Each structure stands twice: as structure tokens, then as C-alpha cells.
Amino acid sequence: MMTGLVDRFVEQIIANSSFEEMDALYLRNRVLALVGEQVLTVQTDLEDLIELKDELLAHGVRTGFVGELLEEQDMVGACLMDLITPSPSQVNRDFWQTYQENPEQAVAEFYALSKRNDYIKVAAVAKNIYYQTPTDYGNLEITINLSKPEKDPKAIAAARLAEASNYPQCLLCMENEGYQGRINHPARANHRIIRLDLGQEQWGFQYSPYAYYNEHAIFLNQEHVPMVISSRTFEQLLNLLDIFPNYFVGSNSDLPISGGSILTHNHYQGGRHSFAMEKAPIEHQLVFDGFESVSAGIVKWPMSVIRLSSADKPSLLGLATKILEKWRSYSDASVQIKAETDGTPHHTITPIARKRGDLYELDLVLRDNQTSEEFPDGIYHPHPDVQHIKKENIGLIEVMGLAILPPRLKAELAEVKKYLLGQANQVAAYHQPWADRLKAEYPVVTEETAEEVIRDSVGHIFARVLEDAGVYKRTPEGRAAFMRFVEFVGLAT
């Protein structure tokens, strides 16, 4: 049934918020202030709140009331969806009141709100290409990230002209909550953060707007302080498991090259997702001296992972801290492992924590950020022959077995497919050697098998990427060197 677009949107605001019928005129006027009064004549048969918001924006752009740049539309859209979003104090009050009775429900309701108010870009995330590839390490997950729109050249030019601002200082600062946004900083009017204490520090819990996996959560320090991996990191990860026992929680490393994209603000990531690394078995059991209550072992994984498991939280934390301290100072020239160069540290750890029943489980991934003349991008970084698929840093999510691949690959892999099928193509020069190898290995393919061949190859290249990032290679020499390190930590006799 057709009805006025503005009135239908107002109806949905009332249905999805604490506003009441008496608020309808007020809400209509707030909407008109954002998208212009000319939309009053527009009719619609839409019912979905986010679709109605998108339609309002489209008409606002047509009339010139809303700017044509996506950044400008996002700012208006976030303000429209802020109308159904309770205040930060109310969101926090509701969360913790519900948590006292039912922690799972509290988390579920906050997640539902973050989707309902379009903070989590559900429709955009659905555009991502996703599949799994069976490998020697289990089913690795491959994602081509298409959710974030490409930057409009006009927006890039406008951002260059925009007045410089360091508020908020970064995308993870608490000051983003409710921030209007600007050409060079995303709109966050509909953003809400749950406050929580981790020891003596105040932290926040939110979701990622462009989620890479189910319930992709971010935990952030309320202070703008840099990433640091320390004993406190391990303690905070386990404390977060006490609050969110059904989530994994992990941290990027705290050094360039081996770290994620934001090293200036201390934060963790988590969520409700089971990665291939979690399912990977222990291939070599270890017992550390003085920590016999902690089950330990080397994980069958392309990167170098020590897994610790125990119900004894202090012992688990003590052993994790010892491994970190030993790794920070450890060098082994025979396998190109070096703790520091002229006082600049190279060694850190990417930690991932989860609960298995009553046991805390902590995976410690050894990282090394050295560079060399042969590998200027990083010795333990994707090597040049695989950078046509993945050349960015290997962060926490990739470490666990989920590839976040750049959007350029959607079009580029389509050209490789044409090449395999013998059709006219424009294969990128950096893909040509790979395309030639696939052509030689699979001289006869169909439309369906060509797609399968390319996807399988990309998955196995990602496995190679992770092997490149592994400090101890999966060779007899590498395994022996790994054992020398764990002996340096202190194995029980």
C-alpha cells in the first residue's frame, strides 16, 4: 500500500524506538530538516526501516538538499538512524541491567540494535565474496572485501581541501560516539559503545561497521594509547572471556609490518566465529618447567603457534608472559631470527584467547618484523611472488585463517578466468605468470571449472602467504629451530 515516504519512515521510527505517537510531528520535522521538505510529496510501498532511510537520502540528493558524495549521504543517513538509537547512557543501562539476568541476551540485544540502526552495514557486508578452500591446515576462509565503497575522486579532492582536524584522534577513539562525521572521517551519529572495566582501565565494547565475520566485535581502551603486547594484554584477554565467554578475543601485534592497520590506539577484536586455526590440532605436546598445570603444544599451522590451555588462570598468564619475554630477547642466526637491530625490537606476539568449557585457551603466534635487501617489505611478510593476491600486513584475522583480500581482485580474477577460457582478456601484468601456470596445469576448463580452479589456487596462495609470515618454517630445519626456542623458554625434564 502506497503512503507518504516521510510518514512511513516516522511510523517505523516509532515502532523501533521509545518514541510514541505524540512524537510523530516532531519526528517528521527532524526528518525534513535532514532531507528537505520536497520529499513530503513522495509516496512509497517500502516497509523496511533501512530501505526507507536509503529512499529518503536518494530523494534528498535528487533535490540537491543532500550532497552527492557518499560521505555526505552517510552523515545524513547516520543522523536519520540516530532517531531510533537510544542515548549512550540508556544503551549502557539496558545492557548491564539485562546482563545481570542474562548475559547472552544483553549481547544479542546490543548486536541487534547495531544492525537495526544501520551502524553495522549488513547490506554492504553481504556484497563481499566469501568461500572456503580445503588445505593441509583445514578449510581456510577467503573474503574479497567489497563492502567499503571505492573513494569518489571528488571526495578525495574535497578531503584534501578540508580543514585539518585531530578530533577524534583516530577511528577507535571514544569521541567517535555520536560524531557527525566529515568528508575525511566517517559519520558516527548512530554509534554506541558499551563501557566496561578491565582491571584498572576503562574500556569500550562495540561492533565493527564492516564486519569480516559473525558478531565482529572491537574492544577499545577509552584512552588514546598505543598498542602494547604485555602481561596486561594476556590478563585483559582472559578477563574479556569472563565477560563474553562465547566470544574469542585477540590482539594484533604491536609492531609495524607484523601488526594491523591501527597501532596508535590499544584495542582487541573478538566475536562469535570459529576460525581454522582454532580447529587446528596440536602436533607436538610440550610441558614447561614450573607450569605443569598448563597443557601446551605447537599447533599444526602455517604460522608459528604455541597453544596454552588451563583452568589455572594465574599459571596460564605466568607462562604466556614468560614466553613473550623470552621471545622478545631471542635470536637464532641459523634461521634468520633476530630480536633487535641497533635497539629496534623485532619480536612480538599475536595472542588469541577463547574458552573451551572451563578451560582458558591461549594461542601465542610468534611474530618477527625484520626486513632485508631481498625482502624489503618484510622477511616474515607475503613474499613478492604472492603479492599479486595479498601484499598487505598479516593481521589478527588473517593469522587465524581468514583472508581479507582487496576489492581489485574481483575484476582482476574475472580477467584471469577469461584467459583460462581462451577469451579476450586484460590480465594484469602481475597476474600473468600465475595465469600462465594455471593455463599449463588446466589446459581445458569450462565456465564452472575455471572459477573453481582460480578460487582453489587463491586459497592455496593464501596458505603460502601465512607460511611466509611464519617465523619457523615447516621443514625439518624449521621444526628443530622451533624446539630450540621452546627449550630456551624452559621445558620440564
User: Could you give the CA distance from residue 493 to residue 290 in angstroms, rounded to a whole number?
Assistant: 11
Domain assignment present for 240: no
Residue-by-residue pLDDT tens, the chain, 493 positions: 789 999 999 999 999 999 999 999 999 999 999 999 999 999 999 999 999 999 999 999 999 999 999 999 999 999 999 999 999 999 999 999 999 999 999 999 999 999 999 999 999 999 999 999 999 999 999 999 998 766 556 655 655 666 667 899 999 999 999 999 999 999 999 999 999 999 999 999 999 999 999 999 999 999 999 999 999 999 999 999 999 999 999 999 999 988 777 889 999 999 999 999 999 999 999 999 999 999 999 999 999 999 999 999 999 999 999 999 999 999 999 999 999 999 999 999 999 999 999 999 999 999 999 999 999 999 999 999 999 999 999 999 999 999 999 999 999 999 999 999 999 999 999 999 999 999 999 999 999 999 999 999 999 999 999 999 999 999 999 999 999 999 999 999 8
113 located within any domain: no
Q: Which residues contact 435 (CB under 8 A, 6 or more apart)?
A: 416, 419, 420, 427
The pLDDT assigned to 209 comes to: 96
Does 150 map to a domain?
no
Tell whether 79 is covered by a domain: no
In the structure grid, which three cell numbers stand for residue 312, read together?
589455572
User: What is the CB neighbour count within 10 angstroms for residue 168?
Assistant: 17
Handedness of CA 64, 69, 75, 79 (dihedral sign): positive
d(CA 244, CA 221): 17
Of 461, 345, 358, the C-alpha closest to 409 is 461
Q: Judge whether 268 and 219 are in contact, CB under 8 Å.
A: yes
Domains: count for the chain: 1
Neighbours of 441 (CB within 10 A): 9
Task: Tell me the residue range of the domain where 53 lies.
Answer: 3-66
Helix (H, G, I), strand (E, B) or coil at 147: coil
Is the distance from CB of 296 to CB of 487 less than 8 angstroms?
A: no
CA distances from 247 to 33, 238, 324, 425, 469 (A): 41, 11, 23, 45, 25
d(CA 42, CA 60): 11
Task: Give the three cell numbers for residue 377.
Answer: 617489505
Q: Residue 137 in contact with residue 299, Cβ under 8 Å?
A: no
Q: How many CB atoms lie within 10 A of CB 71?
A: 21
Q: What would the grid cell of residue 375 be?
A: 625482502
Give the per-residue pLDDT at 262.
83
Please answer whether residues 212 and 397 qualify as being in contact, where contact means their C-beta atoms are separated by less than 8 angstroms.
yes
Question: 110 near 91, Cβ under 8 Å?
Answer: yes
Contact 361, 275 (CB under 8 A): no
Q: Please tell me the distance from the alpha carbon of residue 139 to that of residue 119, in angstroms, as a whole number.
A: 30
Asked if residue 27 is part of any domain, the answer here is: yes
- 37 contacts: CB under 8 Å, gap ≥ 6: none
Q: How many CB atoms lie within 10 A of CB 377?
A: 15
The full 3-state SS of 183-214, as one line of letters, equals CCECCCCCCCCEEEEECCEEEEEEECCCCCCC
CA angle 280, 234, 360 (to 5 degrees): 50
Is residue 224 one of the residues assigned to a domain? no
Residues 6+ apart with CB under 8 A from 407: 144, 145, 146, 148, 150
| Nearest Cα to Cα of residue 257 among 389, 402, 368 | 368
What's the rounded Cα separation, in Å, for the pair 291 and 395?
Answer: 29
pLDDT of residue 166: 87
Sign, CA torsion 458/464/470/471 = negative
Q: How many residues appear in the chain? A: 493
Give CA separation, 2 vs 10, 29, 43, 51, in Å.
15, 21, 6, 15
- Torsion sign over Cα 397, 400, 402, 405: positive
What is the value of pTM for the model shown? 0.95
402 found inside a domain = no
Do 359 and 310 touch, CB atoms closer than 8 A? yes
Residue 468 lies in a domain: no
Alpha helical stretches, state H, 83-118: 88-101, 103-116
